[in-house]
Amino acid sequence: MEFDKIYSQKEFDCEGRKVVDDNELMALSINVNDQLLDIIKNIRSDASEYGRLMAYYRCAIMEVETKFNVLNVELSRGRESNPIETIKSRLKSPESIVEKLQRKNIPMDVASIEKNLFDIAGVRVICAFQEDI
């Protein structure tokens, strides 16, 4: 009986783990939940910003592609041969963006993507001959 009384008043159990009462546990749980909610809010905010940035790049690709397509049509009408063979575009995948940020030790946020990565969007125009460029 005496052992139980002493044991219940100790701060640590027999294996050296801290003993916490229900109030401490509840406060810790609330703190962890608040931290998780903050993390989730940040992720959602970053995802929204990331979506806007990718939409911006998609629009830029569409604009450049449209200009090249118009040029392609005009060159096809007025010449025997059109120097433009192919027009391709691409947007870097999220996985590739994350990998590059990690490889270059760049912070993982939208501002860093915008400031440090210069190959997120690309348009390639392929011509048959070098002199057509």
Give the pLDDT of the chain (133 residues) as one tens digit per residue.
444 544 455 566 566 666 666 666 666 666 666 666 666 666 677 788 888 999 999 999 999 999 999 988 888 887 677 888 899 999 999 889 988 988 999 888 889 999 999 999 999 999 888 877 7
CB 11, CB 18: distance < 8 Å: yes
pTM over 0.85: no
Spans of all domains in the chain: 2-132
Please report, for residues 35, 103, 110, 112, the alpha-carbon distance to residue 57 in angstroms, rounded to integers and kept in the order given.
Answer: 33, 22, 13, 15
CATH number for region 2-132: 3.30.460.10
Tokens of 57: 């790049």
Sign of CA dihedral 36, 40, 41, 42: positive
